[in-house]
């Protein structure tokens, strides 16, 4: 999972480097990972 997240983050930063600041990306990724974990537990 960590490698996928890193790759996704790099792709986002490469595509729109001026749109996101690191803190916002970190928060968004954290929420996404939490949602993924919850969904895996439910299924």
Name the token pair of 14.
């490469």
% of the chain surpassing 70 pLDDT = 53
Structural domain for 7, as ranges? 2-42
What does the pLDDT look like over 21-35, one tens digit per residue? 678 888 888 888 888
Q: Give the Cα separation of 26 and 43 in Å (integer).
A: 26
Give all strands (DSSP E) within 1-43, no chain letters.
none
The reply to whether the predicted model has a pTM over 0.75 is no
Q: How many domains does the chain have?
A: 1
Contact 7, 31 (CB under 8 A): no
Burial class of residue 35 in the structure, from the number of CB atoms within 10 Å of its CB (0-12 exposed, 13-18 middle, 19+ buried): exposed
């Amino acid at each position: 999972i960590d490698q996928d997240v890193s790759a996704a983050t790099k792709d986002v930063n490469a595509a729109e480097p001026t749109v996101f600041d690191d803190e916002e990306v970190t928060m968004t990724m954290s929420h996404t990972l939490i949602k993924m974990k919850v969904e895996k537990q439910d299924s």
